[in-house]
Amino acid sequence: MTLTIELSDEQQAALAAKAQTQGISAEQYARQVLEHDLQCSGSRRRHISEVILENMRNVPPEIMATMPKDGASQHDHYIYGLPKRNP
């Protein structure tokens, strides 16, 4: 199947630039992007909480035991070193 699409000058330039960074033609890049999108659309998009829970299942119990219990409510303290907030 052959598909013809109209792109603005800006879109053409962006497409060419992306393709060039990967060392492929604009047509090849467009095909890759379309194929990826079609593959992803067939699968259900998951909420970020599902992805996080799935990843957390892989953390060994001994590592989980060292995690702070108030990590979510005091994230500024643990990430940026700010004083803990009062509950």
> Token pair of 33, please?
């992007």
Residue 43, pLDDT score: 67
pLDDT at 41: 65
Both tokens of 22, joined, read 């990967």
The reported pLDDT for the residue numbered 39 is 79
Q: Please give the Cα distance from 15 to 34 (Å, whole number).
A: 13
Report, as ranges of residue numbers, the positions in the chain whose pLDDT lies below 50.
Answer: none
Rounded alpha-carbon distances, angstroms, from residue 44 to 35, 39, 66, 84: 16, 11, 34, 39
Q: How far is CA 64 from CA 57, 59, 71, 79, in A?
A: 10, 7, 12, 17
Q: What is the pLDDT of residue 42?
A: 64
| Residue 67 per-residue DSSP state | S
